[in-house]
């Protein structure tokens, strides 16, 4: 499904709401046209935009494929996989400039927005953005902050497996079936159990691991190559490790269709004036041994999702694979073994989530093509507060008491009454947590606030009602009420690390407007050269010399400023790279 001139444009009298899959490795945008979800090509004509940002020596910013290619040659000026840092206060320093994860994500969103506006000839102000089902409250709010910085209104955030279910269910509304969606992307793994009944897609449970994805498979493969074929200390050299990871990413893709792959690095500059050359063959069998611990980590969320839905594998009608990392034969085999049937990949695994985001966007804009489609979702986490218990004269504190259990159909509002533990207690500190462990210290703290002053009474005689309200976007509001006084207090989630205030979002938006971006029309040239430089490190002998000649030819053509000469030189360089890398040389899944 791709955008094409034969498809009718979205009516001008209908607001343009786009769907965005903001991924760890790749991102893409899609819209619903003539009842079909279509992805929007970027400036390179590609439908996947790598979630990568790089700063050139000139201070200009590159976003997408050109930035990703520079990771192997300029790791200190390039950032990738920053989606994993959403909801934290980590900062990335690129070219002497500091960025928050929200700002880097905003740069990717800005690029996608520009691609859609160029392709459709219309301004875009609103989007539906997908997030992993197991993204917590802080990560979801950080995603919304990133959209605000990029100038996009986001009134709807949808879980990635739910979006995939929408895409699958779009043309199967007349069927009744129960399915499990396995979504293994670049940085996260989600499992969702759903049921489709007469156009209603009911999510029954979700589970996952927000730190498990294709990036971890690449790291494990790189560790194998470094240990078996590399010099000591390779892991400590940033440039060498970045080059090795890039080569292992390509090898991982080749291993999806071939029994072995060769990892080659040629004269990669190291610290201290040294260089690294490496050639190592990795078999699929060896790679799968390295990946075995990652595959075992997938089993726990699978079991939890089935248990929460009160299902056994035999009662599942279909197993649906989503995410580029599900191309690995070992992932397909794991799913087949656990469910006793071959999983399905009816939609492109990299694009299924974006298709679903486009369907949700169409639902929001009341598109007639989806007016009879309904989707319900559930809370993926339990949420509650810290409590204490009295045993004799001893207080046991830090206990987690859920107020809203995981698996609750959302939107939802739940209330629970708590009492003071000491006589004449003046204040109650309400600490909000998210997770499944009985102890708060093992869960994620979302925020805290203080209720009081309270009327002086004996222990247990003053109560507060704590209400959790969880909306369709997976965003939480917490309110505490003292029945004796009617006093109400709400949690201040903005005060937690990594959360941006409204002023900080405004400042970040203004700072983005001042940034210098590499011209969009010049991105194909910058991307071709960046990819060639990364490939140069993998080649030796005649192929390397030939690649260097074509790189020089493109640089000379750029100096001539002759558009026809530049286009011809770029096409020759791109064709040469394709012939040198063979199958599986396209954009990273």
pLDDT by position in tens, the chain (length 589): 444 434 445 556 667 899 999 999 999 999 998 888 999 999 999 999 999 999 998 888 999 999 999 988 889 999 999 999 998 889 999 988 899 999 999 999 999 999 999 999 999 989 999 998 888 888 898 999 999 999 999 978 999 988 988 888 877 777 888 999 999 998 899 999 999 887 788 899 988 888 899 999 999 999 999 999 877 777 888 888 888 998 899 899 999 989 999 998 887 777 666 777 888 999 999 999 999 999 999 999 999 999 999 999 999 999 999 998 999 999 999 999 999 999 988 889 999 999 999 999 998 888 887 877 888 888 888 999 999 987 777 888 999 999 999 999 999 999 999 998 888 999 999 999 999 999 999 998 888 888 988 999 998 888 999 999 998 887 788 999 999 888 898 875 555 556 677 788 888 888 888 888 888 788 899 999 999 988 887 788 888 899 999 999 999 998 888 888 999 999 999 999 988 876 543 333 3
CA angle 21, 22, 24 (to 5 degrees): 120
Burial (Cβ within 10 Å: 0-12, 13-18, ≥19) of residue 508? buried
pTM summary value? 0.85
Catalytic residue, chosen from 103, 115, 136, 183, is: 183
CB-side neighbour CA atoms (13 Å) of 149? 28
Active-site residue identified among 21, 195, 216, 308: 21
Query: Which residues, 6 or more positions from 53, have their beta carbon under 8 angstroms from its beta carbon?
Result: 61, 62, 63, 67, 78, 79, 82, 94, 99, 104, 107, 108
Burial class (CB in 10 A: 0-12, 13-18, 19+), 98: exposed
pLDDT of residue 587: 36
Give the number of C-alpha atoms closer than 13 A to the C-alpha of residue 143, restricted to the C-beta side.
28
Q: Residue 80 gets which letter from DSSP?
A: E
How confident is the model at residue 46, as a pLDDT?
93
H or E element that contains 179: strand 176-184
Supply angle C-alpha 299, 438, 295, rounded to 5. Answer: 15
Q: Is 284 helix (H, G, I), strand (E, B) or coil?
A: helix
Question: For residues 540 and 463, what is the distance between their CA atoms, to the nearest angstrom?
Answer: 74
- What class, spelled out in words, does domain 383-492 have in CATH? mainly beta
- The predicted pLDDT at position 497 comes to 56
Q: List the catalytic residue out of 46, 83, 350, 367.
A: 83
Closest CA to 466 of 453, 454, 449: 449
Residues 263 and 278: their CA atoms lie apart, in Å, by 8
Residue 521 confidence (pLDDT):
81
Sort strands 200-209 and 189-197 into parallel, antiparallel or unpaired.
antiparallel
Domain 17-213+293-378 adopts which CATH fold? Nucleotidyltransferase; domain 5 (3.30.420)
- Secondary structure E strands in 318-379: 318-322, 374-378
Instruction: Assess whether the region 17-213+293-378 and the region 383-492 belong to the same CATH fold.
Output: no
Contact by Cβ (8 Å): 281, 260: yes
Number of neighbouring beta carbons within 10 Å of residue 176: 11
Residue ranges of alpha helices (H) inside 352-455 are 352-364
pLDDT at 272: 67
The alpha carbon dihedral of 510, 512, 515, 520 has a sign of: negative
What pLDDT score does 326 carry?
93
Tell me the C-alpha distance between 492 and 500, whole Å. Answer: 12
83 an active-site residue?
yes
pLDDT of amino acid 415: 95
Q: Residue 128 in contact with residue 31, Cβ under 8 Å? A: no
List the domain boundaries for the chain: 17-213+293-378, 383-492, 539-581
pLDDT of residue 9: 55
pLDDT given at position 14: 65
Determine which one of 115, 136, 137, 160 is catalytic.
Answer: 160
What region, left, alpha or beta, does residue 457 occupy, with left being phi > 0 and alpha being psi -120 to 50 degrees?
Answer: beta
Dihedrals phi, psi of 185, to nearest 5 degrees? -100, -160
Q: How many helices (H) and strands (E) does the chain have?
A: 13, 27
Rounded to whole angstroms, the Cα distance separating 57 from 276 reads: 24
Active site residue 21: yes
pLDDT the model gives residue 212 = 93
Catalytic: 183? yes
Residue 2: what pLDDT?
43
The pLDDT value given to residue 109: 97
Confidence at residue 11, expressed as pLDDT on a 0 to 100 scale: 58
């Amino acid at each position: 499904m791709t955008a094409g001139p034969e498809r009718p444009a979205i009516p001008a009298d209908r607001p343009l709401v786009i769907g965005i899959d903001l991924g760890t490795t790749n991102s893409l945008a899609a819209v619903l046209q003539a009842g079909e979800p279509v992805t929007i090509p970027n400036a390179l004509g590609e439908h996947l935009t790598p979630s990568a940002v790089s700063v050139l020596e000139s201070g200009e910013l590159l976003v997408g494929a050109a930035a990703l290619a520079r990771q192997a040659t300029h790791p200190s000026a390039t950032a990738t996989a920053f989606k994993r840092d959403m909801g934290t206060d980590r900062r990335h320093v690129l070219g002497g400039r500091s960025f928050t994860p929200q700002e880097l994500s905003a740069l990717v969103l800005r690029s996608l927005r520009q691609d859609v506006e160029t392709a459709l000839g219309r301004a875009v102000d609103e989007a539906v953005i997908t997030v992993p089902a197991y993204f917590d409250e802080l990560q979801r709010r950080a995603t919304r902050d990133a959209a605000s910085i990029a100038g996009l209104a986001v009134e709807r955030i949808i879980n990635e497996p739910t979006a995939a279910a929408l895409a699958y269910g779009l043309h199967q509304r007349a069927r009744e079936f129960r399915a499990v969606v396995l979504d293994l992307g670049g940085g996260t793994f989600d499992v969702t159990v759903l049921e489709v009944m007469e156009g209603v897609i009911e999510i029954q449970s979700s589970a996952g691991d927000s730190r498990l994805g294709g990036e971890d498979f690449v790291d494990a493969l790189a560790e194998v190559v470094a240990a078996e074929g590399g010099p000591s200390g390779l892991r400590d050299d940033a440039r060498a490790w970045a080059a090795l990871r890039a080569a292992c990413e390509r090898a991982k893709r080749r291993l999806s269709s071939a029994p072995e792959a060769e990892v080659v690095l040629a004269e990669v500059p190291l610290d201290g004036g040294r260089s690294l050359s490496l050639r190592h063959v990795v078999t699929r069998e060896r790679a799968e041994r390295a990946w075995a611990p990652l595959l075992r980590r997938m089993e726990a969320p699978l079991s939890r999702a089935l248990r929460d839905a009160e299902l056994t594998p035999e009662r599942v009608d279909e197993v649906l694979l989503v995410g580029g990392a599900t191309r690995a034969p070992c992932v397909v085999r794991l799913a087949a073994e656990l469910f006793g049937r071959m999983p399905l990949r009816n939609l492109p695994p990299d694009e299924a989530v974006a298709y679903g985001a486009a369907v949700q966007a169409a639902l929001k804009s009341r598109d007639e093509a989806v007016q009879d489609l309904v989707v319900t979702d559930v809370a993926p986490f339990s949420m509650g507060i810290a409590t204490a218990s009295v045993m004799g004269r001893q207080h046991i504190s830090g206990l987690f008491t859920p107020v809203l259990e995981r698996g609750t159909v959302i939107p939802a509002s739940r209330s629970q009454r708590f009492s003071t533990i000491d006589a004449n207690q003046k204040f109650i500190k309400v600490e909000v947590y998210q997770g499944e462990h009985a102890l708060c210290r093992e869960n994620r703290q979302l925020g805290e606030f203080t209720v009081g002053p309270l009327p002086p009474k004996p222990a247990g005689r003053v109560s507060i009602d704590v209400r959790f309200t969880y909306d369709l976007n997976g965003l939480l509001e917490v309110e505490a009420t003292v029945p004796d006084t009617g006093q109400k207090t709400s949690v201040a989630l903005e005060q937690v690390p990594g959360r941006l205030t409204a002023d900080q979002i405004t400042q970040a938006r203004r700072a983005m407007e001042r940034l210098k971006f590499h011209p969009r029309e010049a991105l194909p040239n910058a991307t071709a050269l960046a990819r060639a430089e990364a490939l140069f490190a993998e080649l030796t002998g005649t192929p390397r010399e030939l690649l260097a000649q074509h790189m020089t030819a493109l640089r000379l053509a750029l100096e001539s400023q002759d558009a026809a000469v530049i286009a011809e030189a770029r096409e020759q360089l791109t064709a040469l790279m394709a012939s040198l890398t063979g199958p599986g040389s396209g954009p990273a899944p």
